[in-house]
Chain A
Amino acid sequence: AQTIHQWPVAEIKAVGSPLSLGCTIKGKSSPNLYWYWQATGGTLQQLFYSITVGQVESVVQLNLSASRPKDDQFILSTEKLLLSHSGFYLCAWSLQGAGNTLYFGEGSRLIVV
């Protein structure tokens, strides 16, 4: 069975500080990987996607970056946090190809103060 693990579960960070969120998928080789962001009470917005190791595409510009250093690992980061970065960050995976189910990790909650 596939498992998806995100870390940390929650963080409180200061404006201007760096951030790194991680995601690991086990039990599935070469999945598509995604980062989504959700403001409190809001909808889910796709930030990045990756179809293979070392290749990440940005969907929206939010002063964030993402990397896929290994087939099963996806990292979201920034060097300088903004207040607007607060929210719920969700890593997700799907099989490659159109119309495949998206499975979300448990999420990382970020509060920027």
Chain B
Amino acid sequence: GEQVEQLPSILRVQERSSASINCTYENSASNYFPWYKQEPGENPKLIIDIRSNMERKQIQGLIVLLDKKAKRFSLHITDTQPADSAMYFCAASAWATGGNNKLTFGQGTVLSVIP
């Protein structure tokens, strides 16, 4: 199977600074790496993703980097705002037996943006 390690578990940053979350994975067959944001009491929502044929992707203030050689991917939030405060999950997907499009999630990072 797949294992995904996510660090840090807690991240506190000042408003308008940047925040970075790092993840590593084990299965070299993993080819899809989404990031989810989860507000308290709500469901996780996809914010950005990257596939294995890319090294970098940016959507507005969100940047994801993928280093397949090191089996490492990261999320960078530039110009953070208090509204960015939430739990963030990275995940890795590999084709599993029986047609299971299985996402393995990291342990999560609680991001607090301090005004």
Contacts and interface: CB of A to CB of B under 8 A. Distances in A.
Interface of A: 32, 41-46, 49, 51, 57, 59, 90, 94, 96-107, 109
B31 A99 contact: yes
Contacts of A104: 43-45
Contacts of B108: 41-43
15 contacts: A32-B101, A41-B108, A43-B106, A44-B103, A46-B104, A49-B98, A51-B98, A57-B98, A90-B43, A97-B101, A98-B32, A98-B94, A101-B46, A107-B42, A109-B41
Nearest to B87: A41
Q: Which secondary structure dominates chain B's binding surface?
A: strand
Contact of B101 (A96, A107, A109): A96
Interface of B: 31-32, 34, 41-46, 49, 51, 89, 91, 93-95, 98-108
B105 A98 contact: no
A41 B98 CA distance: 30
A99 B99 contact: no
B106 A99 contact: no
A42 B41 CA distance: 13
Given A96-B99, A102-B101, A107 B106 contact: no
A44 B4 CA distance: 12
Given A90-B43, A106-B43, A46 B101 contact: no
